[in-house]
Amino acid sequence: MAPPLLRLDRIALTFGGTPLLSDAAISVSEGDRIALVGRNGSGKSTLLKIAAGFITPTDGEVFRHPGVTVRYLAQAPDMEGFANVRDYVEAGLGPADDLYRVSYILEHLGLTGEEKPDNLSGGEARRAALAKVLAPQPDILLLDEPTNHLDLTTIEWLEGELRQIRSSIVVISHDRRFLENISRSTVWLDRGVTKRLDQGFGAFEEWRDKVLEEEERDLHKLGRQIVREEHWLRYGVTARRKRNMRRLGELQSMRGEFRNHRRAQGTAVLKASDARESGKLVIEAEHLVKAYGERVLVKDFSTRIQRGNCVGFVGPNGVGKTTLLSMLTGLLAPDSGFVRLGTNLEIAVLDQKRDSLNLDQTLSDYLTDGRGENVIVNGEQRHVASYMKDFLFQPEQLRTPIRELSGGERARLMLARVLARPANLLVLDEPTNDLDMETLDLLQELVSGFAGTVLLVSHDRDFLDRTVTSVIAPEGDGRWLEYAGGYTDMLAQRREALATRKELKTAKSAAPAEAGGEKPAVQREEKRKLSYKQKFALENLPGKMEALHADIHKLEAKLADPELFAKNPQVFNKTVEEIGKKRHDLERFEEEWLELEMLREEIEG
């Protein structure tokens, strides 16, 4: 096994009260891809900050190999003192790093580099911080929730980028699919102690459940052993003749172990409040159009949503998902077309804009709207402290201001408020942000088993695949299409459609010229409608794409040499960057060709 570049051993950290970390360890060697997982509040981010050198532990050993470069992605980046995003990102480069990487990374993260730090949204600031740590390609990357605020296209690009770079990676994420695609080993932080599985995240949950089952079984055995020893102490013949101090000491030790054992944190209880049944037809939309100036977000969109459907909305940030959702629920009027809502609708909305929370408001006032100490759930009055327990909040947090909550706690709090309202139509805009995996599982069960209708915006591919009955996705120029099934089904249908288009194009080009009397006239009409530049690109892009495929294959074969980095790191880095650039060009050419091909088909139609 390769020597570690970074090692944390027997790490302990206490802020008063129960230790946050008591026996945590993590070892990072060259080429490692480690998923760091655990419940919200278990100390994952803190352990990552200790690894990055930002926090000093109360006890334990931290070793970093001399000369190793480490970059840490914080959840809340500090950009003070920088004129724009590019300056901020370039500040993270070392003397040997390439400036080209900055432009390449910024472009894929949807930033120009000219944005002013004071004008950035929370999501833009996170993407700028991600660019800063990715551009240098350090020896070790410590990533805390890198997929937050990224759309699906960018998440998939990030996966490809992380797979090809040479950096060792430790990543915290609640995106299952992302962790499955990235990780090769898993470190589980549970009640202050770490356990390591030398397999990727795909094998983690089954392993975790077995560990917890064994722990409960051992604890039960310990309890029975204590009962037997106490019985011997009270009634045994030997115990009455003389005190056996050794067995008495062992009994006291077992009692202490049983009493001080920290059980696994409970799970939230997610249950939507019942409402009367809606009509069979929930939403009917015909020929919706919405534009802001020259930018068309929705063009000629129609759909019918029935009771019991769970419809997912996907697409890049800013493409118009929330706009379309607002029109379908009657919150925003379309420029043209109409929306008809069904009968008996009771709508509950979870807004993605958590910044709109009043941070000075207490948890109790937020859940009760400041009216007393009770909340009505399913028509029954419950004390707010009791209801909060269902979402893993403690009674002592009743008067806690919202500003003191973590991102995951705020997400759970907003869910608690939404689910207390009677509803037969749930509108969930990014509900999975900051939720731990156990709470995500419960939310998935709630959505899947919800008797009413659900409209769901999400970038979590696994969550979409497990919940939705159809997916509405953008196709460009304001056009949206609805696909049956989940996100993976949508991708498969798109691939089939693209393959069909290519087959049709091949068949048409191979058809004999004498096959139709009017066909030449139609073709002449098409040629008049397609510009010379468009025709030239349509004819030449396939050749360019084939050449790029060949170049990428050659470069990847070069990287396959396991000794290349050791022999010539400059050649290795240059090759990796060249692959990245060619893949970027290939993606751009493919998108351009697809748009031109669709335009050509429209002209033929």
Q: Are 477 and 299 in contact (CB under 8 A)?
A: yes
Q: Which two tokens stand for residue 473?
A: 């996705």
Most trustworthy range by pLDDT among 10-19, 60-69, 388-397? 60-69
Mean pLDDT (whole number) for 122-149? 89
Query: Across all residues in the chain, what is the average pLDDT?
Result: 81
Residue 295, pLDDT > 60, answer yes
Rounded Cα gap, residues 427 and 365, in angstroms:
23
Give every CB contact of residue 482 below 8 A, 6+ residues apart in sequence. Answer: 303, 311, 470, 471, 472
Report DSSP state, residue 401.
Answer: B
More confident residue, 320 or 440: 320
Contact by Cβ (8 Å): 204, 210: no
- 301-351 pLDDT, tens digit per residue, is 999 999 989 999 998 877 889 899 999 999 899 999 999 998 888 888 877
Quick one: average pLDDT of 287-296?
91
pLDDT at 32 (0 to 100): 94
Q: Which helix (H) or strand (E) holds 235?
A: helix 204-235
pTM greater than the 0.75 cutoff? no
Q: How does strand 374-377 pair with strand 380-383?
A: antiparallel
Question: How far, in Å, CA of 156 to CA of 150, rounded?
Answer: 10
Least confident of 190-194, 316-320, 425-429: 316-320
Most confident stretch, 43-57, 94-108, 498-512, 548-562: 43-57
Quick one: average pLDDT of 7-15?
Answer: 91
Q: What is the reported pLDDT for 596?
A: 74
Cα–Cα dist 427/454, whole Å: 6
Specify the pLDDT at position 430: 83
The residue that leads in pLDDT, 222 or 192, is: 192
Q: Which range (29-43, 504-518, 589-603) has the least confidence?
A: 504-518
Whose tokens are 């006291």? That residue is: 252
What pLDDT score does 258 carry?
56
Checking if the pLDDT of 515 tops 60, the result is no
CA–CA separation, 56 and 76 (whole Å):
19
Among 19-23, 87-91, 231-235, 586-590, where is mean pLDDT lowest?
231-235
Q: Which two tokens stand for residue 121?
A: 């949204």
pLDDT at 525 over 50: no
Residue 236 has pLDDT above 60, yes or no: no
**Mean pLDDT lowest among 150-159, 205-214, 233-242, 361-370:** 233-242
Cα 214 to Cα 194: distance, rounded to the nearest angstrom: 16
Q: How many CB atoms lie within 10 A of CB 176?
A: 21
User: Which residue's structure tokens are 């797979």?
Assistant: 163
pLDDT of 61 over the 90 cut? yes
User: Structure tokens of 466?
Assistant: 């497990």
Question: Is the model's pLDDT at 523 over the cut of 50?
Answer: no
End-to-end Cα, the chain, rounded Å: 62
Check whether 549 has a pLDDT greater than 80: no
Strands 33-37 and 168-172 come out as parallel
Residue 470 has pLDDT above 80, yes or no: yes
Count of Cβ atoms closer than 10 Å to residue 124 Cβ: 18
pLDDT at residue 469 tops 50: yes
CB 289 within 8 Å of CB 477: no
pLDDT of residue 530: 65
| Residue 43 pLDDT grade (very low, low, confident, very high; cuts 50, 70, 90) | confident
Q: Could you give the CA distance from residue 283 to residue 300 in angstroms, rounded to a whole number?
A: 16
569: left (phi over 0), alpha (psi -120 to 50) or beta: alpha
pLDDT at 444 over 80: yes
Asked whether residue 367 carries a pLDDT value surpassing 70, the answer given is yes
Give the closest residue to 200 by CA, choosing from 151, 159, 140, 149: 159
